[in-house]
Chain A
Amino acid sequence: MSSTTLQRPRAAVVRRPRRGAAAISRRVLWHAVMIAVAVGAVAPLLYMVLTSIRPQATAFSGPIVPDRLTGVGYDFAWNELQIWRNFLNSVLITGTTLVLTIAAATLAGYAFSRIGFTGRNLLFFVVTSALFLPGVATLIPVYLELQSFGLLGSRLGLILVYTAGGVSFSLFLMRTFFDALPHELSEAARIDGASEVQIFWRVMLPLAAPGIATVAIFQMINVWNELLFASALISDPANRPIQPVANSLIGQYATNWPALTAAMTLSALPMVVAYVVFQRWFVAGLTAGAVKA
């Protein structure tokens, strides 16, 4: 008697493991698919790192996973090929471009969002329409322009061009962020007699920090990885950033795979680390950009 009355509630409990079994096999299948895709995504990168730390003699015919590891490839790339110069050039160019872009885009984004001026919307449309502009459409005049400024072949010239290239997107994102901030705080500051500059610097800028972080990570990846303008505007290897140098190495050192892959790993590493560290802002920026665009 009592066993039958207890049956009902238990039935619900007993059913759970069955559903659980189906769920577990689904979960296992899901993990299997995910792992397969992850291997496809990561294996080539792993191969690059493994090749960079193997002896040159085993690069073509040795086992794919090297049995002996060495830093000779890095030593050769860093010191003999003087990749360190190009690495530092990339750091300098990317860093300076970031500062300039953020300064210009934050100021302008704030003005477009909060301060009125004649022709505001038309101007915003014109500047952000450059988002669709293919780089090659400005390459030749920019080359001639830098030549006449005496900046062709210089890091400063490339920095200015990169900043201009990043302003449209950064401005667009910054205006979106400023638009989303509440008006009450700036209004309160204004009533307290703060000037437009004070409101911007003391009140709005600290609130816009997440937006600035997003702009920074996007611009950083774009500038560090850029190839077309870097190849065209700087020809002296001493002044070049790391991407075009990595590309030109394969011509001269086509068979020195450890040195080549060491140079490639060095040029890839900073952005891979940056992405993993700053993922949150990157994803936030993608969402904001994709939803508002």
Chain B
Amino acid sequence: MVSRRRARRPLTGWSNPTGLAFVLPALAFFAIFIAYPVVRTFALSMTTSDGFGGSSFAWFHNYGVMVTDPIFRKAAVVTLVYTVVTTVLHTVLALVLALVVHAGPRRSAVVYRTLFFLPAAVSLTVTGLLWRIGLTPVFGVFNRVLDAVGLGSLQHEWLGDTATVLPTIIVVSLWQSTGLFMLIFYAALGNVDTSIAESARVDGAGPLREAWSITIPMLRPVIEVVVMLNVLNGLKVFDLNFVMSNGGPLHASESLSSYTYLLTFGSSTGGVPSFGYGSAISVVVFLVAGIATLLLYRFRKGEA
């Protein structure tokens, strides 16, 4: 985004009230609902605020609490595992799918592409609810299908078991999001210069070799964007685990975002809302997302 060419020097010069007036509405929204809240999150994270006026300055007390809080540690691990696994699987599956779709005749490809994307047009909320219903023990359609094809022994309370809840949520996220990333790769494949691939084919390269040695390297900038989108989406994961398992059982699917929500607005603990501690966790998510963005950005620039 920095590579913009400045085609012509703006006529009205270097300091221009019209320009500022045009920018003002966007800037006002940004300042009031993004910039100020970010700063305030940092400030709140150093207080014991409960959101009802009870608040005192506590320096880094909340960050100290975090170190010994087993639920925070669990949520950090869940968030990290979710981020890494979904980033790898979304990217690889979507890329393979896009290459296969692209290899077919264009007209059919557009039809299939549309069908594959449909789950991504459905919200994560509805996705979570749908799979929650489908995975209901005994009566759920998933277990009934298993039973019908003679795999009844595999029936399981997928969302009620601390060992299977996170893998299940990850699989559901694959179902929902692979189509979106497939679409990004598919669109990029349309812009790839085909002449090199054709000359490789003339030289006897098979389709796998061609994809691995020519097409995928050419897609590299797009792959990097998809990885970055996935890392950022993973670090802030909330909807799916909130809807499907409410972070449970026993916080086995609690992410940093859902834990913050629980601390701030959740009544299930019955305790006093901890805006201060919740803000401290938000700051951690914010910093990790910021560092990840910088690292990925540096990586891209370094390789270019």
| Chain A residues in the interface with B (C-beta under 8 A) | 27, 30-31, 33-34, 37-38, 40-42, 44-45, 47-48, 51, 59-61, 64, 100, 103-105, 107-108, 110-112, 114-118, 120, 123, 126-128, 130, 132-145, 160-161, 163-165, 167-168, 171-172, 179, 183, 187, 190, 196-197, 200, 221, 224-225, 227-228, 231-232, 243-244, 246-247, 250, 257, 260-261, 264, 267-268, 271-272, 274-276, 279, 282-283, 286-287, 289-293
- A136 and B257 form a contact (CB under 8 A): yes
Chain B nearest Cβ from A256, distance in angstroms: 11
A276: nearest residue on chain B (CB-CB)? B114
- A247 and B243 form a contact (CB under 8 A): yes
Query: Could you tell me the distance between the alpha carbons of A161 and B36 in the complex, rounded to whole angstroms?
Result: 12
Identify 7 residue pairs between A and B in the complex whose beta-carbon atoms are under 8 Å apart, listed by A's number.
A30-B103, A38-B115, A132-B290, A135-B236, A165-B33, A232-B265, A246-B125
B-chain residues with CB within 8 Å of residue A118 when the two chains form the complex: 14-15
With A137-B285, A142-B37 in contact, is A104–B112 under 8 Å at CB?
no
Q: Can you list the 5 inter-chain pairs with the closest CB atoms, starting with the nearest?
A: A164-B33, A117-B19, A225-B123, A111-B22, A116-B10
- B108 and A246 form a contact (CB under 8 A): no
Chain B nearest Cβ from A50, distance in angstroms: 10
Q: Is B18 positioned at the interface, with any CB of A under 8 Å from its CB?
A: yes
Stretch at the interface among B130-138, B153-161, B198-206: B130-138
Q: Is B20 positioned at the interface, with any CB of A under 8 Å from its CB?
A: yes
Chain A nearest Cβ from B13, distance in angstroms: 6
**Which residue of B22, B131, B257 contacts A115 across the interface (Cβ within 8 Å)?**
B22
- A138 and B41 form a contact (CB under 8 A): yes
A-chain residues with CB within 8 Å of residue B51 when the two chains form the complex: 140, 143-144
A136: nearest residue on chain B (CB-CB)? B257
- B22 and A268 form a contact (CB under 8 A): no
B-chain residues with CB within 8 Å of residue A271 when the two chains form the complex: 121-123
**Which residue of B13, B25, B112, B235 contacts A134 across the interface (Cβ within 8 Å)?**
B235
Q: Is B247 positioned at the interface, with any CB of A under 8 Å from its CB?
A: no
B-chain residues with CB within 8 Å of residue A135 when the two chains form the complex: 236, 238, 257
- A286 and B119 form a contact (CB under 8 A): no
Chain B nearest Cβ from A9, distance in angstroms: 23
- B188 and A61 form a contact (CB under 8 A): no
A-chain residues with CB within 8 Å of residue B218 when the two chains form the complex: none
Number of interchain pairs (Cβ within 8 Å): 301
Chain A nearest Cβ from B9, distance in angstroms: 8
- B122 and A127 form a contact (CB under 8 A): no
B-chain residues with CB within 8 Å of residue A61 when the two chains form the complex: 139
Query: Could you tell me the distance between the alpha carbons of A165 and B286 in the complex, rounded to whole angstroms?
Result: 15
A-chain residues with CB within 8 Å of residue B16 when the two chains form the complex: 115-117
- A167 and B30 form a contact (CB under 8 A): yes
Known: A134-B289, A231-B265, A293-B1. 9 other contacts (CB 8 A): A38-B116, A47-B130, A107-B22, A108-B22, A134-B286, A135-B257, A137-B37, A164-B33, A260-B129
- A116 and B14 form a contact (CB under 8 A): yes
With A30-B104, A103-B25 in contact, is A114–B239 under 8 Å at CB?
no
A-chain residues with CB within 8 Å of residue B283 when the two chains form the complex: 137
- B41 and A141 form a contact (CB under 8 A): yes
Chain B nearest Cβ from A158, distance in angstroms: 11
**Which residue of B23, B121, B242, B285 contacts A112 across the interface (Cβ within 8 Å)?**
B23
Chain A nearest Cβ from B221, distance in angstroms: 7
- B187 and A283 form a contact (CB under 8 A): yes
**Which residue of B7, B41, B101, B121 contacts A137 across the interface (Cβ within 8 Å)?**
B41
A172: nearest residue on chain B (CB-CB)? B1
A-chain residues with CB within 8 Å of residue B68 when the two chains form the complex: none
A222: nearest residue on chain B (CB-CB)? B123
Q: Is B34 positioned at the interface, with any CB of A under 8 Å from its CB?
A: yes
Q: Is B100 positioned at the interface, with any CB of A under 8 Å from its CB?
A: yes
With A47-B134, A110-B22, A293-B225 in contact, is A243–B125 under 8 Å at CB?
yes
**Which residue of B7, B183, B256, B278 contacts A283 across the interface (Cβ within 8 Å)?**
B183
- A290 and B222 form a contact (CB under 8 A): yes
B-chain residues with CB within 8 Å of residue A167 when the two chains form the complex: 26, 29-30
**Which residue of B26, B141, B144, B188 contacts A291 across the interface (Cβ within 8 Å)?**
B188
Q: Is B124 positioned at the interface, with any CB of A under 8 Å from its CB?
A: yes
Q: Is B63 positioned at the interface, with any CB of A under 8 Å from its CB?
A: no
A115, A136, A232 — which one has the most chain B CB atoms within 10 A of its CB?
A: A136
- B116 and A130 form a contact (CB under 8 A): no
**Which residue of A38, A104, A232 contacts B29 across the interface (Cβ within 8 Å)?**
A104
B-chain residues with CB within 8 Å of residue A267 when the two chains form the complex: 123, 125-126
Q: Is B282 positioned at the interface, with any CB of A under 8 Å from its CB?
A: yes
